[in-house]
Structure 1
Amino acid sequence: MSKEPFRSALVRQGDPRRTPSIRARVPLRLGLAGGGTDLSPYCDTFGGAVLNTTIDRYAYAFIAASDDARIHFVAPDLETSESYTPEALEQQAARDAKLKIHAGVTVGMARRFGFAIEPLRLTSFVDAPPGSGLGSSSALVVALVEAFAAYHQLPLGPYDVAHLAWEIERVDLDLMGGKQDQYAGTFGGTNFIEFLTNDRVVVNPLRVAESVRNEIETSLVIAFTGVSRMSATIIAEQRSGLIALSETSIDNMHRLKQDAHEMKDALLRGDVAQMARILNRSWTAKKNTAAGISNPLIETLYACAHSAGAIGGKVSGAGGGGFMMFIVPPERRVEVIRALNLAGATASGVHLVTEGAETWTS
């Protein structure tokens, strides 16, 4: 990636109403198997493998000209906004901002590619709350990176975007987490992603037969527990076990990685019953990697869904709250959704999407 200055794609005409806006959207994801093996130091030592698929929930980012000499960050879904002079943003906001992701991406992109931070309005929203377990924070980072790349005509490919988003989120901002979410959102679709030594990542798009895809989609139920969780504590405990070479932690991570390989094979065969068995097995292994991954609410909803007909299930993401996902016989989907909603969750079906990050102008 070149670090030479790039000229903006937008034509500044002095009147923000006449300046086109850049729009970006990035899909959220469901982790089907292998989640956690994309964490360092496990993937750096043993190599990780994750199977995930993107869904019809999105993170959005919009860049437009500012009507004053300030840069504005707006997140209406979080009921938060703030503004800075470009100089103040460069000096402190990436550290002190309420909307750290907006500030971090703005400063990180400017420093890496050598363009000046200029007055603009950066607006975002996400179709899931923070701590959803659907990779929403990372999808937002990717959406912001994509918006800036389009705004400044940066010649970035999908691997560049995903790695850059990971670097800004995990290194610049020091936000805990793995690597799968940035690649899932950037590439889109159903992917088997390998995380290798020396920071190498290989995204293997899966060619899923349409009939299989339809069956899997019709068999999926997602449910928001009503609790947004902070994943950092859980991830920190997982990493501690790996750094200490805890035999329990390592063995369970090996199990999760093997489950990703077996889940991929079951998915390509369209063996939904086997996918459900692997999902249950992975859930048991995942709970053994850190305290707090499950709790009485999650266990109650898990039991409720199974009593109503679900055959497989787990928490999406790090655990502790957020969304759960279930595999159900399609004929029982309505009953499972109804039972989960009566138990206090917000449940629905979900559609799989094949497109990854997208940008356009208004």
Structure 2
Amino acid sequence: MIISRAPVRISLGGGGTDLESYYSKYGGFLISGAIDKYIFISANRRFYNTIRLGYSKTEIVDSYEEIQHGIFKEALRHVQPHDGCGIELVSIADVPANCGLGSSSSFTVSLLNALHAYNRDYLSQKQLAEEACMIEIEKLGQPIGKQDQYISAFGGITTLTFEKNGDVVVDPIKMSDDAIDELERNVLLYYTGIERSASDILSEQNEKSIKDESDVIDSLHQIKKIGYDTRNAFENGNLDKFGELLDVHWNNKKQLSKNISNPFIDSCYEIALKNGAIGGKIMGAGGGGFFMFYAPEKHDLLTRAMKEKGLKPMRFRFDFEGAKILFNMKK
């Protein structure tokens, strides 16, 4: 049996500039943080010469061509078990699907890591991230960027630079332990209870970027600059500045699509600002999922206000290990 895990993430600055439609013209830059909420995949040799998949549904099929789940299908097409026997793959998640924390890409990274370990074939973090990008973006045609796969593979609080040719430069941020502890204390996550697919919002942003629509391009330029400013704030230990940048980021992010926010989300945001938050934003593409706020004090007051709006708090710490094989005992 193989058990792998890969962390989900919170985007801390520059998010959205990892789409090819943007970085291929202007280059992208962002800061992402892996957190200790994981997607787990177990892989085990099956007695029968069939494939059994366990996720929100159960599939038992004779070959990967019959699989309904897109990521499972493409991953098994790409990394076929060498022993020629049946295989059982089961996924377990710490967070809901479509929650804005990059769980789909974490699933892909964790699954590929498990399949390669099953074949006794171990990849570098970069190879793992690139294979996950290939499956999600090239094979499945998802209108997403490369942030989620890379941060899930590498972990940490990390800057990602997206070159125009598609290369990704990974550089851990230079923060003191005290600054990391302070960031963990003051960044608060709340689940809105709204599940949404990122595809529609990102497709709209992608199309506008391809057409070079000035309002979207200008907002993405500003968001990229916020990423650089956030790096400076982190490395200088000026975390309240990060909170202020989050507010600017959120107002720019809302210019990318009319579906990123709605009256309920706007109401939650305004209440958060009145109850201790300096700034915040919806994670991922927007429209629902998790809110992230930066609040240097009055944590109890903010949490009480968010609970009154029906939002559920989720405590976390940063993950500095990235994708990992937890257990490996293949017979």
Partner of 1:109 in structure 2? 79
1:251 & 1:118 partners in 2: Cα distance? 53
Deviations 1:162-181 (A, max 9, x none): 00001011111222211100
CA RMSD of aligned residues (A): 1.4
1:169 & 1:108 partners in 2: Cα distance? 12
Partner of 1:224 in structure 2? 191
2:314 & 2:54 partners in 1: Cα distance? 29
Amino acid across the alignment from 1:58: Y
TM-score normalized by the length of structure 2: 0.96
Pair 1:357 & 2:323 matched:
yes
Task: Provide structure 1 residue ranges, at least 5 long, that are not aligned to the other structure.
Answer: 1-20
Moved over 6 A (4+): none
Deviations 1:177-226 (A, max 9, x none): 11100000000000000011222000011232110001111001101110
Partner of 1:85 in structure 2? 62
Amino acid across the alignment from 2:28: G
Amino acid across the alignment from 1:23: I
Partner of 1:24 in structure 2? 4
Pair 1:338 & 2:275 matched:
no
Task: Provide structure 2 residue ranges, at least 5 long, that are not aligned to the other structure.
Answer: none
- Choose the corresponding residue for 1:45, options 25, 31, 38: 25
Task: Assess if the C-alpha contact under 8 Å between 2:20 and 2:166 holds in 1.
Answer: no
Shift of 1:326: 0.3
Task: Assess if the C-alpha contact under 8 Å between 2:143 and 2:206 holds in 1.
Answer: no
Amino acid across the alignment from 1:41: S
Q: 1:198 to 1:117 in 2, by over 3 A?
A: farther
Q: Summarize the alignment of residues 121-200 of structure 1 with structure 2, pairs less than 5 Å apart.
A: 121-200=88-167
2:301 & 2:282 partners in 1: Cα distance? 20
1:61 & 1:233 partners in 2: Cα distance? 27
2:129 & 2:318 partners in 1: Cα distance? 20
Shift of 1:349: 3.1
2:254 & 2:221 partners in 1: Cα distance? 14
For 2:58, what is the secondary structure of its paired residue?
strand
Deviating more after overlay: 150-159 vs 309-318: 150-159
Task: Assess if the C-alpha contact under 8 Å between 2:191 and 2:314 holds in 1.
Answer: no
Partner of 1:7 in structure 2? none
Deviations 1:68-109 (A, max 9, x none): 12100101xx2x1111102xx23x43xxx0x22222211122
Partner of 2:35 in structure 1? 55
